[in-house]
Amino acid sequence: MNLIRGFIFDLDGVLTDTAEYHFRAWKRLADELGLPFDRQDNEALRGIPRRESLLRLLKGRSYPEEQLQAWMERKNNYYIEYIHQITPSDLLPGARPFLLEVRAAGLKTAIGSASKNARLVLERLEIADLFDIIADGYSVERQKPAPDLFLFAARQLGLEPPECVVVEDAAAGIEAALAGGFRTLGIGSAARLGTAEIVLNGLHEARLSELLGHYNRSTPRIENDALPGRTMVDL
């Protein structure tokens, strides 16, 4: 059995809630293009890369590549405009204390985010120095739900996938982690993240010793089959 030696954190929705800024940026583009787009549509884009998000917004209609690139750039410019407002107070409850606890325990930490803006957001949150490595939207070709980004992060940390817990708020992210053989911690609703080994409402509910107690005495396959979506109380 592998003992846990590192945590790989998704960024958007786990450490900070950028979904609102993504929503405003996509909504602005959608309004300009005369396309319908609401908060529910935005929820479905959680963890989904920029290009795939645009294709979903366009509802399968095809356009020349240069046009797609121009719209992606326009949306990203809006997004960057919004995330400049981010300050350390935008860290989600429990995020910083949990990161500090993980590092104080001698475990490694990584970012595994599909976003090409991850470094900018980490700088705005003033937590870039709390990570040994940053894997982002530039690190690999195939994005979540492919396991590539997390495999890249684990390799950079010098760890094997079963030695790492992937912390994710998106179904596509949990799928990616499971496909790579990682341990999983879902953040958000159990309905969305039911395939994760453990699901919490936020990192404010995370107790490192209890989490390690769980991961270090079990194997993922058995736990996934037997107890999908356990909460902290169950541990």
Any idea which residues carry the catalytic annotation?
Answer: 10, 12
Q: Nearest approach, Cβ of 12 to ligand BG6 (angstroms)?
A: 4
Please report which helix (H) or strand (E) contains residue 6, including its range: strand 6-9
Give the one entry of ligand BG6, Mg ion, none that residue 183 binds, where binding means its C-beta sits below a cut-off of 5 to 8 angstroms depending on kind: none
Nearest approach in angstroms of CB 47 to ligand BG6 is: 5
Q: Which stretch binds ligand BG6 (CB under 6 A): 42-50, 101-109, 146-154, 210-218?
A: 42-50
Answer yes or no whether residue 41 interacts with Mg ion by CB under 5 A: no
- Residue 114 makes contact with ligand BG6 by CB under 6 A: yes
- Partnered with residue 6 across adjacent β-strands are 108, 164
Does 10 contact Mg ion by CB under 5 A? yes
Name the strands in the sheet holding 183-187, side by side, starting at the edge strand that comes first in the sequence. Answer: 133-135, 108-112, 6-9, 164-168, 183-187, 198-200
For residues 73 and 66, what is the distance between their CA atoms, to the nearest angstrom? 10
Give the 3-state secondary structure of residue 35: coil
41 sits near ligand BG6 (criterion: CB under 6 A): no
Does the footprint of Mg ion cover residue 136 (CB under 5 A)?
A: no
Under 8 Å CB-to-CB from 86, ≥6 apart: which residues? Answer: 16, 18, 121, 124, 125
Distance in Å, CB of 138 to ligand BG6, minimum: 9
Taking the complex as a whole, the smallest distance from the CB of residue 122 to ligand BG6 amounts, in Å, to 12
53 binds ligand BG6 (CB under 6 A): yes
Q: Measured between alpha carbons, how far is 235 from 232 in angstroms, rounded to an integer?
A: 5
How many residues make contact with ligand BG6 (CB under 6 A)? Answer: 16
Q: Residue 6 in contact with residue 157, Cβ under 8 Å?
A: yes
Interface with ligand BG6 (CB under 6 A), residue from 115, 127, 163, 215: 115
22 lies in the binding site for ligand BG6 (CB under 6 A): yes
Please report, as residue ranges, which positions from 162 to 191 form the binding site for Mg ion (by CB under 5 A): 169-170
The tokens describing 150, both together, are 């997390």
Of the candidates 134, 231, 228, the one whose C-alpha atom is nearest the C-alpha of residue 174 is: 228
Binding interface with ligand BG6 (CB under 6 A): 12, 22, 45-50, 53, 76, 113-117, 137
